[in-house]
Amino acid sequence: MGKALETLCAFANTRGGTLALGLEDRAKAQGMERLHGLAENPEAVDELRRKTLTHLLPAVEGLRWLRVACRLRNGTDDHILLLIVPQSPKVHSILDDGTWTRLDASNREMTASEITELSYQRGVISAESEPVAVPFDLLETDTWRRFAASRGFLSGDIADRLYRIGLAKRIGGELQPVRAAVLLFADEPGGLLAAQQTRAEVRIFHYRGHRIEPGAIPNLLKPPKTISGSVPLQIAHASAYVLDELATGLTLAASGFKMVHRYPERVIKEAMTNAVIHRDYRLNRDIQIRIFDNRIEIESPGLFPGTITPANIGKAGSFARNPLIARNLREFPEPPNVDAGEGVRMMFAEMRAADLFRPFFNERREAQPSVIVILHNEERPPVWEQVRDWIDRNGPLANSDLCRITEVDTLKASKMLKRWVEQGVPLKDDSGGKRNTVYLKPTLAQPALDWDGSLSSDPENESGQSQQTLTKQRIAYIFIIRPGGSGRLAGLLGI
């Protein structure tokens, strides 16, 4: 029972997963011999249900208990139970038994620093609400005066006003502004927050060509531009600068052909707004915007908060990592963000209306975690819609499938696939060897369980990971001790 609860906690704290109860480990049995069912020990399932409500702090929401009818190894009819655990927007612990994370095939108890880090990543806590030792008079700027005028009901000095709207805290009997107040109103928030090792600027790089070319002389069209200032001014100035750069057109170095950017203006502004509002302000890095001939990349420090992933961002709605900034930004006379939760959906719709590839979202989880949004300045080929529909219905696409769909030869199909992969449209999976290379849509799949407990691809879902990796991360098998044992869940074995 303890291992089952640990795994449930670990799945919720990691990326979700599925527990299969009543199923023997693959290393100990194969095929129908794995099916032990629930009838041998129904009390263990009832106990696990009770403990999910009483021993997980806070309780994990959205658990799904799915009974699957099957014929057991002894020929009788029974069920196995699938406990589907979503990735949680919170950080969970077991009463008197620690906080757990999921590895490939086992659980590991988290350290205090790891728990704090996960709390920041999930948006459970945010650097924006931390008090900082910045004098209030440095916040009495034109930006503050515009904001205060729009909130006419506020009276008193700036310290008292900020305190009443949650932008100041009382520390040792004295008021101090929180980091969000400095970011919203200071003329140079980056300078004032340097003591907290916080950067708060936007850096814009305009490159010649399709990639960054290393060397003594970088392939920049001009020196990088730094955009500083309060959050509303950063959004306005960064958007205006990028749009001005795009309006000039580009000359491609190889051919001399002048290429006109076709990005919808609303998409550019929304991407800039999201990067500034939702970045992780405890990380000592600037937002970076990179303009290439064929795309724009917006990289914002920090990972997606809550349960948002690259796979579900178009459907998940909004989750504000920095709710103080988001809530107060909408109160400006001309707010860059109305905080309606429809920004990403608008970006998808606008790019489609312009007949461009949809925006691509990705996470970089290495030493410097960040979210990257890529806007492609290339027309979405109508054939891709046919391919996208085919993958939805049939699963991974091979070169031969594309030949049949589009009625082109193998060479032309290979060139089309290569170009699409460079654009990030499909993901290439060559784990089965060159002859067995297939292509997947770049989103995350929910695993489906076959009768014998093996994972199968679901054509209604989309996968950006290899099936083997996905299996290790998202499913664990629990077997129930047969009569004569201790009458509890005996163990947990990952695959």
Task: pLDDT band for 1, please (50, 70, 90 cuts).
Answer: low
Stated pTM of the model: 0.70
Q: Where in the chain is the domain with CATH 3.30.950?
A: 2-121+465-494
For 193-205, give one letter per residue: b (16+ CB within 10 A) or e: beebebbbbbbbb
* Residues 416/402, Cβ–Cβ less than 8 Å: yes
Between the alpha carbon of residue 89 and those of residues 174, 306, 336, 384, 414, the distances in Å are: 33, 4, 26, 34, 41
Q: Does domain 202-376 have CATH number 3.30.479.10?
A: no
- Both tokens assigned to 414: 């290979």
Q: Which residues contact 13 (CB under 8 A, 6 or more apart)?
A: 88, 91, 92, 99, 100, 101, 102, 110, 118
Nearest Cα to Cα of residue 486 among 47, 17, 23, 7: 47
Nearest Cα to Cα of residue 13 among 110, 138, 96: 110
H/E run at residue 478: strand 475-480
Between the alpha carbon of residue 415 and those of residues 42, 257, 379, the distances in Å are: 56, 22, 16
Task: pLDDT band for 132, please (50, 70, 90 cuts).
Answer: very high
* Residues 82/478, Cβ–Cβ less than 8 Å: no
pLDDT value, residue 338 = 61
- Both tokens assigned to 276: 């500034």
**Count of all residues that appear for the chain in the document:** 495
Q: Where in the chain is the domain with CATH 3.30.565.60?
A: 202-376
Task: pLDDT band for 378, please (50, 70, 90 cuts).
Answer: confident
Task: pLDDT band for 340, please (50, 70, 90 cuts).
Answer: low
pLDDT value, residue 482 = 33
pLDDT value, residue 249 = 61
Least trusted range by pLDDT, from 99-113, 224-238, 397-411, 468-482: 468-482
Checking if the pLDDT of 472 tops 50, the result is: no
| Average pLDDT along the chain | 80
Q: Which residues contact 237 (CB under 8 A, 6 or more apart)?
A: 227, 229
Mean pLDDT of the 277-289 span: 92
Is there a cis peptide before residue 396, judged by omega within 30 degrees of 0? no
* Residues 494/104, Cβ–Cβ less than 8 Å: yes
Q: What percent of the chain has pLDDT over 70?
A: 83
Checking if the pLDDT of 138 tops 60, the result is: yes
pLDDT digits (tens, 9 = 90+) for 88-118: 888 999 988 899 999 888 899 999 999 988 8
* Residues 337/329, Cβ–Cβ less than 8 Å: yes
Could you give the CA distance from residue 476 to residue 492 in angstroms, rounded to a whole number? Answer: 7
* Residues 23/36, Cβ–Cβ less than 8 Å: yes
User: Beta partners for 131?
Assistant: 178
What string of DSSP letters covers 167-200?
A: SEEEETTEEEEBHHHHHHH-S-HHHHTGGGT---
| Residue 119, SS3 per DSSP | helix
pLDDT value, residue 129 = 92
pLDDT value, residue 466 = 35
Nearest Cα to Cα of residue 464 among 424, 422, 413, 435: 424
pLDDT value, residue 122 = 84
Mean pLDDT of the 120-124 span: 84
Nearest Cα to Cα of residue 442 among 495, 383, 381, 372: 372
**Assigned CATH class of 382-440:** mainly alpha
Mean pLDDT of the 148-172 span: 86
Checking if the pLDDT of 457 tops 70, the result is: no
HSE-up (13 A, CA, CB side) for residue 349: 8
Q: Where in the chain is the domain with CATH 1.10.10?
A: 382-440
What letter does residue 447 receive in the DSSP assignment?
P
- Is 313 or 422 the better-scoring residue by pLDDT? 313
Q: What percent of the chain has pLDDT over 90?
A: 34
- Both tokens assigned to 356: 């461009």
Q: Is 457 left (phi over 0), alpha (psi -120 to 50) or beta?
A: beta
Mean pLDDT of the 238-245 span: 93
pLDDT digits (tens, 9 = 90+) for 245-275: 888 765 544 444 456 778 899 999 999 999 9
Checking if the pLDDT of 368 tops 90, the result is: no
pLDDT value, residue 251 = 52
Task: pLDDT band for 455, please (50, 70, 90 cuts).
Answer: very low
Task: pLDDT band for 452, please (50, 70, 90 cuts).
Answer: very low
pLDDT value, residue 163 = 93
Mean pLDDT of the 272-284 span: 92
Mean pLDDT of the 185-195 span: 90
Contacts within 8 Å (CB) and 24+ apart, 457-466: 457/395, 457/396, 459/391, 459/392, 459/393, 459/394, 459/395, 460/392, 462/311, 462/391, 462/392, 464/310, 464/311, 464/427, 464/440, 466/429, 466/431
HSE-up (13 A, CA, CB side) for residue 70: 27
What string of DSSP letters covers 55-95?
A: SEESPPPS-EEEEEEEE-TTS-EEEEEEEEEPPPSS--EET
pLDDT value, residue 494 = 32
Q: 2-121+465-494 is classed in which CATH architecture?
A: 2-Layer Sandwich (3.30)
Could you give the CA distance from residue 488 to residue 310 in angstroms, rounded to a whole number? Answer: 39
